[in-house]
Structure 1
């Protein structure tokens, strides 16, 4: 039996590419766009896990309107911070693996070389702060 993947944010650029790549692998992929799954809604996430029982969840869902996050930080935080926390809790409860995608916006942006994964964070924008909140929630 092939592992079942749940791909959130499946209508976005990253989600579409991942679903297409998984189509060539020995996996079953459930592609959930924001209409099918609001990742910040614990009830909807529970329903999705009950219906599909994923072994792997690839969180490609994100508020990606970087400039708009400055004036709508609460909305961005709901998707980029609360959503990953809800997914992480569901994965923990069901024994699923969570793959969470972040961004270099969690760093200060002033490095001369690429940032190592363990570099100190210092986001300078609302978008970066909300993505960092998601990283922290997943790590907890």
Structure 2
């Protein structure tokens, strides 16, 4: 890929290996001009997630689990056709793939530790509630005629 701005870093020192990326080009759909029927500007980037050796095993399992709905036989596919040039679509697809893998391989969030509500806050809430109910009861209009 001469002229490309790779390697595409996923996280830390782990990046997408160029040898494992499979590119396919086709004609973009939608309106165009004289150029549209002759150029293959849509890009399809495929990455064999199940068979890669570039990712640590823990990351790979995490990504396979999280991206299960997007995988076909362990292969992750990303398409890009928003730009008119193939080169920009290649860049977009590769960046999108790297971002997708970075999100899928991120460690799970730390579990939330439940905390108790301080007694003072609870008492104040109940006191204000009682006060509000007294105010509303006072508006009931007994004896107004």
Same fold (TM over 0.5): no
Larger proportion of helix:
1
Higher-strand-fraction structure: 2
Q: Please state which band the TM-score falls in when normalised by the shorter chain.
A: under 0.3
Which structure has more relative contact order (CA 8 Å, sep 6+)? It is 1
TM-score (norm 2): 0.22
TM-score where L is the length of structure 1: 0.23
